[in-house]
Structure 1
Amino acid sequence: MSSTVTTREHWIISEKGQLFAQDWTPTETVGEPILLLHDSLGCVTLWRDFPEQLARRTGRQVIAYDRLGFGRSERYPGALPLDFIDDEARTFIPLVQEHFGFERCVVFGHSVGGAMAVACVAQHPQTCAALITESAQAFVEHRTRDGIRAAEVEFAREGQFERLQKYHGHKAFWVLRAWVDTWLSEDFSDWNLDAELAQVKCPILSMHGEQDEYGSAAHPERLTSVPGVPTMLRLLPDCGHVPHREQQPAVLQVVDEFLQRYLP
């Protein structure tokens, strides 16, 4: 599907601070909008051209926002709580829904954003028409922690931290420590999505790179093991942790196929 896409910027008020959001809306839209949830170091800008291409391919409005503490949103007040995944779904998703005025959406999360997407579906079943995860973690795995430790070492190299500052400004150190310290914390080691997945009643698509440095295929396998709901699992060969950048055409094709099959 091809169409002119209009991009707009938004500011959403929350009790903890303002959130920056953006939407990409085709001239002629179809179906429920797609809500994008970014990864642990991500923000709206780091989706790059994917939201626009997704809007063109599917004909749906695409919405993305910077979580509090990330990108252009305001600073997070204090340390990130260990229940930040459930808190995102509980506290901020309703604000995004109210601002954009949609009744239902397709929730699409990358990495930890995928976990937040699962939590969103579990907490707001009437709002979520379908669930899409990309490179999402369903539990804490040794590969996840090893990948984070390696990334922490890489960010300590000269010039590497500036990559984060480019997107998060003065909040960059908080962003890095929130990611590293949370996932390496012993108090977080037993975290998993089993309880949330048991509440999912909508169609699920889980995409995962076969060379994902932060998680094995055990994650999409668990994410698509929900009984009684339609599921699609796609492992992408020669692909790491960011399929929408590394293999964008394949991701767009799979997402479009999924939506046409289950939300025609």
Structure 2
Amino acid sequence: MTQATEFLTVDGRRLEVARHPGTDHDAPTLIFLHEGLGSVGLWKGFPQAVGQATGCPVLVYSRAGYGRSDPVPVPRPLTYMHHEGLVVLPELMDVAGIGDAILVGHSDGASIALVNAGGVRDPRVRGVVAMAPHVFNEDISVASIREARTAYETGGLRDRLARHHADVDCAFWGWNRAWLDPDFRHWTIEEFLPAIRIPLLLIQGREDEYGTAAQLDAIARQSGGPVETCWLTPCRHSPHKDRPDETLAAIAAFVARVRREVPAAAAQP
């Protein structure tokens, strides 16, 4: 599958975007939203593989502050995921000309997708795949993010990330300092869940070091739409890396069901 990389100006910043054409011209575009230290490049070949399995076109982008996208001021506001879901993602869809989509998010990207689904209720979005989502902060999250700070300052994490981010300090500290801010301990996006009407697929590893089953339980309990859950083991925080075959199969089956059951441009009544 070929890849075309471009830059689109969204919310006043240039964003790195990669597109992969689909084989089914009537299929929705799968929009991939990366984790808190991710980028277009760090997804590696997984988005293309999902596109090939589903026939869907794919759009992958690096949020501002990541990859080759424009940097952002640090520290980030603690509402940065709210802004991404409510403002940036809808504008990106406008600029990219996407009128029919399914969101596929990982970690921070999954949370952003849920904010969009409940806060925008965009009729262009038919469903959400949320891998290792967070809807509130937990002690396990804070502990693992503190460990990441140590690995960045004294281990090899900075060098590894620098291969994928033009401004690696912006990428890392924008994420790390927000999550470790004492006020972020009270962060939540649960208020958006009851307004979600589109189907959700939740995928999480049993050994996730950044979140517990309470995250998926909260989403399933509070969401206003149908929710499927997929638990994987052994699997940590990145299902698409730790269990790629099972994750791809779950996403492909979900996309097929959404296409059968949720008409285009009618997802959020």
- 1:86, distance to aligned residue in structure 2 (A): 1.0
Which residue of 1 is the match for residue 55 of structure 2?
A: 59
Counterpart Cα distance in 1 of 2:204 and 2:57: 24
Report which stretch shifted further, 11-20 or 246-255: 11-20
1:26 aligns with 2:28: no
Which residue of 2 is the match for residue 239 of structure 1?
A: 235
Structure-2-length-normalised TM-score: 0.91
Which residue of 1 is the match for residue 174 of structure 2?
A: 178
Report which stretch shifted further, 27-36 or 46-55: 27-36
1:153-205 CA-to-partner distances (Å, cap 9, x unmatched) read: 12222433111211113x21122211221111121111112111111110011
Q: In the comparison of the two structures, how many residue pairs are matched?
A: 259
- Are the counterparts in 2 of residues 209 and 243 from structure 1 also a CA contact under 8 Å? yes
Gapped regions of structure 2 (runs ≥ 5): 261-269
1:140 aligns with 2:137: yes
Counterpart Cα distance in 1 of 2:193 and 2:11: 29
What value does the CA root-mean-square deviation take over the aligned residues? 1.5
Secondary structure (helix, strand or coil) at the match of 1:257 reads helix
1:117 aligns with 2:117: no
**Matched letter for residue 131 of structure 1:** V
- 1:15, distance to aligned residue in structure 2 (A): 4.6
Counterpart Cα distance in 2 of 1:223 and 1:166: 35
Which residue of 2 is the match for residue 207 of structure 1?
A: 203
User: Taking every aligned residue pair, what percent have the same amino acid on both sides?
Assistant: 26
**Matched letter for residue 162 of structure 1:** D
Match for residue 129 of structure 1 among 126, 141, 163: 126
**Matched letter for residue 118 of structure 1:** L
Gapped regions of structure 1 (runs ≥ 5): none
Counterpart Cα distance in 2 of 1:146 and 1:29: 45
- 1:6, distance to aligned residue in structure 2 (A): 2.9
Counterpart Cα distance in 1 of 2:100 and 2:147: 39
Match for residue 216 of structure 1 among 212, 215, 226: 212
Match for residue 263 of structure 1 among 253, 259, 262: 259
- Are the counterparts in 2 of residues 205 and 224 from structure 1 also a CA contact under 8 Å? no
- Are the counterparts in 1 of residues 196 and 224 from structure 2 also a CA contact under 8 Å? no
Which residue of 2 is the match for residue 159 of structure 1?
A: 156
Secondary structure (helix, strand or coil) at the match of 1:219 reads helix
Is the alpha carbon distance of 1:32 and 1:226 closer, same or farther for their aligned partners in structure 2, counting shifts above 3 Å?
farther
1:150 aligns with 2:151: no
Structure-1-length-normalised TM-score: 0.93
Secondary structure (helix, strand or coil) at the match of 1:79 reads coil
1:116-142 CA-to-partner distances (Å, cap 9, x unmatched) read: 000111233122210110011111000
1:36 aligns with 2:35: no
- Are the counterparts in 1 of residues 196 and 223 from structure 2 also a CA contact under 8 Å? no
- Are the counterparts in 2 of residues 121 and 127 from structure 1 also a CA contact under 8 Å? no
Bigger RCO (CA 8 Å, 6+ sep): 2
- 1:227, distance to aligned residue in structure 2 (A): 5.0
- Are the counterparts in 2 of residues 107 and 128 from structure 1 also a CA contact under 8 Å? yes
Report which stretch shifted further, 28-37 or 185-194: 28-37
Secondary structure (helix, strand or coil) at the match of 2:111 reads helix
- Are the counterparts in 1 of residues 37 and 172 from structure 2 also a CA contact under 8 Å? yes
Counterpart Cα distance in 1 of 2:155 and 2:187: 33
- 1:217, distance to aligned residue in structure 2 (A): 1.3
Which residue of 2 is the match for residue 248 of structure 1?
A: 244
Is the alpha carbon distance of 1:27 and 1:58 closer, same or farther for their aligned partners in structure 2, counting shifts above 3 Å?
closer
Counterpart Cα distance in 2 of 1:22 and 1:226: 34
1:6-48 CA-to-partner distances (Å, cap 9, x unmatched) read: 3211211135321110111123334211111111100000000
- 1:67, distance to aligned residue in structure 2 (A): 0.4
Which residue of 1 is the match for residue 75 of structure 2?
A: 79
